[in-house]
Amino acid sequence: MPRKGAVSAPTEVSPVVTRPMQRSEDPEAAFHARIGAENLGALWVGRRGVDLARPGTPARPAVWRYGDVRPRLMEAGGLIGAEDAFRRVLVLQNPGFGGAMRATQTLYAGIQIVLPGEIAPCHRHSQTAIRFVIEGNGALTTVDGAATAMAPGDMVVTPQWSWHDHRNEGGEPAIWLDILDTPLIDALDTVFRETHPETLQPLTRTGAESGPAANRRAGPARAALDRLARETPPDPCLGWRFRYDDPGPTMAAFLQRLPVGFDGAPRRATDGAVYCVVEGEGATETGDGAFEWRVKDVFVVPGWCRHRHVSGGGAVLFGVSDLAVQERLGLWRERRSGGGES
Ligand code: GTQ
């Protein structure tokens, strides 16, 4: 950090003052100590050595392998019921945040399990949630009075402040990826949360069979992606990328297809993303190392992290990032590069 003696406060003047000149030997240090006590800090010292030219999230590229996580989910299922846990979720904690519940700078991610017959009780909060179903048929989520079936590959959105509960009426565990904008909403100090008086809210309307909600189903989303793949050439960095219709004010969601033999070009963008592998396998290379992924694995590419994807047999990825809020604020940037770290 800063140079010698600039920041650390000198110890209080000793009762036996034998060298009265000691303090004034470093008047700058004395100044910083004095103003620190007055809740003031010198910008030119605090910023010394800090790279202000580009973003620098502590988030690291990271992968959670489903083969490792699933047994832990089943263990959790034996330890506590969904209703007692309220949400029985294993949180994907990015190693860059020292155990905090953050996957990226602005996004929370977790994997939730609801066993047959179980209920995750009704509540609402000011965060938006996007869920992507990984396995199990027979779960339902009710959002503001309308029940929606959850099948593998479906995306379900819980808009901010809408009542929601989940239940599993099928015969197999239901497991899905939850992505919430919690760290962002937390940074704004606007988190509110309320528990519904009933475990399950009353059903007051039928779910939407058309419009955005219908297009978030596995089949229609995949059909839209395949249409894109038939009609347009693949992007050198992204392959084909279908963007879901408006999943709320902060997050964007994608279904992305990497063609067979994909050897992606490097790219970085300011939106940090969480991906779930829907089909196939491949690898992602970053300046912080490379990792392989396969079906149902979840991985994170932090904001402004230069990376590229490769996939021999082709792959389909589901992705969520904070792109929507960055666009709204006019902050989003991307760079596609041959080289040069900047
Ligand atoms: O299902 O409502 O993973 O409120 C974290 C917070 C899931 C949910 C999470 C939540 C939920």
Ligand 1 within 6 A of CB of 87: yes
Band of pLDDT at residue 10, cut at 50, 70 and 90: very low
Query: From the CA of 178, how far away is ligand 1's center (Å)?
Result: 7
Ligand 1 within 6 A of CB of 164: yes
Query: From the CA of 199, how far away is ligand 1's center (Å)?
Result: 15
Beta-carbon contacts of residue 204 (< 8 Å; ≥ 6 apart): 145, 146
pLDDT (average), residues 216-243: 98
Query: From the CA of 185, how far away is ligand 1's center (Å)?
Result: 14
pLDDT (average), residues 193-220: 90
Strands (E), 152-272: 155-158, 164-168, 174-180, 193-195, 240-243, 252-258, 262-263, 267-269
Query: pLDDT exceeding 70 applies to what percent of the chain?
Result: 91
* Pick from 318, 144, 325, 137: nearest CA to 244: 318
pLDDT (average), residues 82-96: 97
Band of pLDDT at residue 24, cut at 50, 70 and 90: low
Ligand 1 within 6 A of CB of 241: no
**pLDDT per position as a tens digit, 106-124:** 999 999 999 999 999 999 9
Q: Which residue among 113, 179, 180, 194 is best mutated to probe the pocket of ligand 1, counting the most ligand atoms within 8 A of its Cβ?
A: 180
Residue 89 CA, closest ligand 1 atom number: 3
Q: pTM for this one?
A: 0.91
Mean pLDDT score across all residues of the chain = 92
pLDDT (average), residues 25-33: 93
Q: What is the pLDDT of residue 213?
A: 82
Dist CA 54 CA 45 (whole Å): 19
Q: In whole angstroms, what separates CA 237 from the centre of its chain?
A: 21
**Element housing 218 (H / E):** helix 218-231
Give how far Cα 93 sits from Cα of 38, 273, 274, Å.
Answer: 37, 14, 12
Q: What is the pLDDT of residue 7?
A: 45
Q: Which residue among 87, 143, 298 is best mutated to probe the pocket of ligand 1, counting the most ligand atoms within 8 A of its Cβ?
A: 87
User: Which residue's CA is the closest to the ligand 1 atom numbered 11?
Assistant: 87
Residue 123 CA, closest ligand 1 atom number: 2
Phi first, then psi: give them for residue 214, nearest 5 degrees.
-65, -35
**pLDDT at residue 19 greater than cutoff 60:** no
Tokens 């239940």 label which residue? 167
How far does the chain reach from its first CA to its final CA, in angstroms? 22
On the 0-12 / 13-18 / 19+ scale of CB atoms within 10 A, 119 is: middle
Q: What is the pLDDT of residue 20?
A: 53
Assigned token pair, 243? 């963007």
Phi first, then psi: give them for residue 44, nearest 5 degrees.
-70, -20
Residue 125 CA, closest ligand 1 atom number: 4
**pLDDT at residue 299 greater than cutoff 50:** yes
Query: From the CA of 296, how far away is ligand 1's center (Å)?
Result: 19
Residues 243/215, Cβ–Cβ less than 8 Å: no
Ligand 1 within 6 A of CB of 165: no
Dist CA 307 CA 272 (whole Å): 12
Q: How many CA atoms lie within 13 A of 12 on its CB side?
A: 2
Q: What is the pLDDT of residue 340?
A: 45
Q: What is the pLDDT of residue 338?
A: 57
pLDDT (average), residues 156-181: 98
Residue 178 CA, closest ligand 1 atom number: 3
Q: How many CA atoms lie within 13 A of 325 on its CB side?
A: 20
Ligand 1 within 6 A of CB of 89: yes
Assigned token pair, 260? 């067979």
Lowest mean pLDDT among 46-55, 116-125, 145-154, 227-236: 46-55
Ligand 1 within 6 A of CB of 250: no
**pLDDT at residue 57 greater than cutoff 70:** yes
Ligand 1 within 6 A of CB of 296: no
